[in-house]
Amino acid sequence: MICPRCHSQVADHIKFCGTCGADLRAQSALVHSNPQQSPQSSIPPNQFEEYSNSVFGNAVPRAELHNPKGPLHIADMTISIEGELVPVVDIMLGNQLPIYFEHHILLWKHPGVQIGFKSMQGAARRFFAGLQIFISEAQGPGNIAFSRDSVGQIVALRLQPEQMVEVREHQFLVATSNVDYNFTFVQGISNILFSRTGLFIDQFTAIGSEGMLLLHGYGNVFEKMLAPGEALDIEPGAWLWKDPSVRMEMTTVAGSQRGGGILGALGGFMAGSSIVLNRFIGPGRVGIQSMTYHPPANEGAPEAGGQRNMDLNLGNLGDIF
């Protein structure tokens, strides 16, 4: 079967394209019911901009692929993203679908909107991992709005049933209640110690019906669609979200150079790169934020990354064990 969005070869039983995340269930069902009929004749229009509209196609990251240009509708709610420097998620809730959100980001709400707590699955695991056990939940009808106290861009990811995305910790804003919120451990000791991602990655999966996930990216957000085996080296702290099919590894500035030895590594370092880079390997998509956010450090403290990052993460391990 051929993916209608990126034209990659996909096995007939696959539900989502591993290269671009496209929903392939309708095409797969059509292939099984009538193998002689081309599934592309029934493809719905793509809800996002196409990479082919770019001069460079999918060879380079593209800006704001998931930056909505107008109101988003899901179930009986309407979601608008307004403002520029510090954007606001403005949601008109109906009666059908509640939402849940991170603490401390509520900006305003109508008095009729009910605020409560949503308990998370795997409470014991989350407790020992130092993650949130309870998260805020809002039930309509009425208007509610959220904003994080930082310059950036809000990204809206529309998830089809059973579709998952993985998100950097502490950058989730809002999700509809039919999106499952879980976490996974970062794979690889080098990723844990040096990649600045921390110990955990958030996982969001739509359950039963289409769901909506909104993230806050610092600065502006770009998206890169990686072909199978294609790699992209990204400054630590700059990745925002990715498809689960995208593998994350750690590399050094020297390892990221085609040649040049120590002088090439020094050149990359002087160009503004960290000693350590995150390497993402396709197939799949990765979201990139242009402002590589790191928690503030006291004046005179060493830069994040390297030994400092190792100390921080070993401290986190001590908190867990």
Chain segment 262-282, per-residue pLDDT in tens: 555 555 555 545 578 889 999
- pLDDT tens readout for residues 72-109: 999 999 999 998 889 999 999 999 999 999 888 999 99
- pLDDT tens readout for residues 184-242: 866 655 555 455 555 678 899 999 999 999 999 999 999 998 989 999 999 888 999 99
Residue 139: pLDDT over 90: yes
Residue 70 is predicted with a pLDDT of 79
Average pLDDT score over residue span 118-137: 66
Asked if 239 and 287 count as a contact pair (C-beta separation under 8 A), the reply is: yes
Residue 114 is predicted with a pLDDT of 94
Residue 57 is predicted with a pLDDT of 63
Locate tokens 């040649």: which residue?
A: 259
Locate tokens 């290269």: which residue?
A: 19
Picking from 4-18, 114-128, 259-273, 289-303, which range would have the lowest pLDDT averaged per residue? 259-273
Asked if 114 and 144 count as a contact pair (C-beta separation under 8 A), the reply is: no
Residue 296: pLDDT over 70: no
Task: State CA 124 to chain mean position distance.
Answer: 25
Picking from 36-50, 53-67, 175-189, 193-207, which range would have the lowest pLDDT averaged per residue? 36-50
Beta partners for 174?
A: 101, 214
Residue 103 is predicted with a pLDDT of 81
CA–CA separation, 238 vs 241, rounded Å? 10
Asked if 197 and 278 count as a contact pair (C-beta separation under 8 A), the reply is: yes
Structure tokens at 236: 């630590």
pTM of the full structure: 0.71
Q: What domains sit in the chain, N to C, each tagged with a CATH number?
A: 1-46 (no CATH), 72-320 (3.60.160.10)
Locate tokens 């309870």: which residue?
A: 134
